[in-house]
Amino acid sequence: MDFTPTEEQAAARDLAARIFGDLSTHERLTAAGTGSDAELWKALCEAGLPAAVEDIGLLGLVLLLEEQGRTTAQVPFAVSCVYGLLAVSAHGSAEQRERLLPAIGDGTVVVTGALPEAAVRVGGSGELSGVVPVVPWLRDATHVLVADEEHGLWLVRTVDARCEPVELTAPWSAGRLTLDGTPGEPLGGREPPGERLSGSGAGVADQGAYDDVLATARTAFAGLQAGVCAGSVARAVDYTNTREQFGRPLATKQGVQLRAADAYMDTEAIRVTAYEAAWRRDEGLDYAGHALTAAWWASEAGHRVVHAGQHLHGGMGADLDHPVHRHFLWGRQLDAYLGCGSEVLQELGALIVQGEGDA
């Protein structure tokens, strides 16, 4: 395996780093409150970054999300690329790809996902009913990808549903989704599965639409968590090198060094497992277990890293207005999103047992 970015992936990553670094500042984040930054989202779309994901793949997206996580930029970048662009590209019908992909790429269509919830019921005429209590970035979305009780995937226009604001610990423009006889569009339409998956790798085709989208989301958000953790560690390193105690920088103390080193290694574990899962999907290899592994590291190690980052700031870490607190909130939200560590570990164990049984 080779995680070295291609020329296109590296160029997209560097461009994303520049845009996030320039626009996702402490002052702008403070002004945005719990909402998204519309100007930043516009800049990303005008630069062609969401559209580029179709070409640079999931590994390329993970690289971009790392840069978002470093700055905790408040835009629906991850969800629209995962539940929109990659899901429609891999599992949409030819008509859906032609109609939706350009609009998702230029940001006029924003898709979020109500996964892994599968609480939606399908009526005889294809109308959908059910409630999803929390959907991240629902307030920014034009469409939401929902799963029915049989794990079929449906695209719903938010204007046809009832969307009520919900506040999370992290500022993710979340909402409560209520469907009551709401019209939905099945992802993939009525085309045969083989035709619907044209252009995707064998591993994606074997995975099944729901399982693939969930595994893709877990991998992508692990990449986002790697960035959040890297940003937290960077802030802690900067703070402990400049903050002095008894005439010496805090960074000279062995206990501080060990805590920072552990946080760095945990961050690297999140990153490399996310890279491996993403690379395997892009190569058309089975990656279900690798996505769960990345999700476990993102939950368990991510929890440790953002706590360490806050603790290394001492009393400043308790200041709710300090930039490191955003990393703490994002890290804690991400450690439970799409399944906490114990849940994904149970899934991974079941997958391993199933594999041994099949063998």
Q: Give 47-84 pLDDT, tens digit per residue.
A: 999 999 999 999 999 999 999 999 999 999 999 999 99
Residue 117: pLDDT over 80: no
Peptide bond before 116: cis, by omega within 30 degrees of 0? yes
pLDDT for 124:
79
The dihedral through the CA atoms of 99, 104, 110, 113 has a sign that is positive
Percent of the chain with pLDDT over 90: 75
pLDDT for 357:
56
- Give CA–CA dist 234/313, Å, rounded: 12
pLDDT in tens, 333-351: 999 999 998 999 999 999 9
pLDDT in tens, 200-221: 455 564 458 999 999 999 999 9
pLDDT confidence bin for 199, thresholds 50/70/90: very low
pLDDT confidence bin for 123, thresholds 50/70/90: confident
pLDDT for 195:
44
Structure tokens at 284: 């058309």
Tokens 């991510």 sit on residue: 302
Residue 103: pLDDT over 60: yes
The dihedral through the CA atoms of 67, 69, 75, 81 has a sign that is positive
Taking residues 242-257, what's their average pLDDT? 84
User: What's the alpha-carbon Rg for the chain, to the nearest Å?
Assistant: 20
Tokens 């930029």 sit on residue: 73
Using DSSP, state whether 36 is helix, strand or coil: coil
Tokens 């959908």 sit on residue: 128
* Residue 248 burial (CB count, 10 A): 9
pLDDT for 198:
40
Q: Is the pTM of this model over 0.85?
A: yes
Mean of per-residue pLDDT scores for the chain: 91
Residue 272: pLDDT over 80: yes
pLDDT in tens, 297-327: 999 999 999 999 999 988 888 888 889 999 9
Give me the half-sphere count of Cα atoms (radius 13 Å) on the Cβ side of residue 49: 31
pLDDT for 79:
97
Residue 249: pLDDT over 50: yes
> Which segments within 97-197 are labelled E, that is strand?
111-113, 121-122, 127-135, 143-147, 153-157, 162-165, 175-183, 185-186
How far are the Cα atoms of 89, 144, 335 from residue 140, in angstroms, in the given order?
21, 10, 22
pLDDT for 299:
97
pLDDT for 190:
53
- Give CA–CA dist 290/17, Å, rounded: 26
Least reliable range by pLDDT among 22-26, 94-98, 191-195: 191-195
Q: Which amino acid is at 244?
A: E
Residue 196: pLDDT over 70: no
- Give CA–CA dist 212/182, Å, rounded: 25
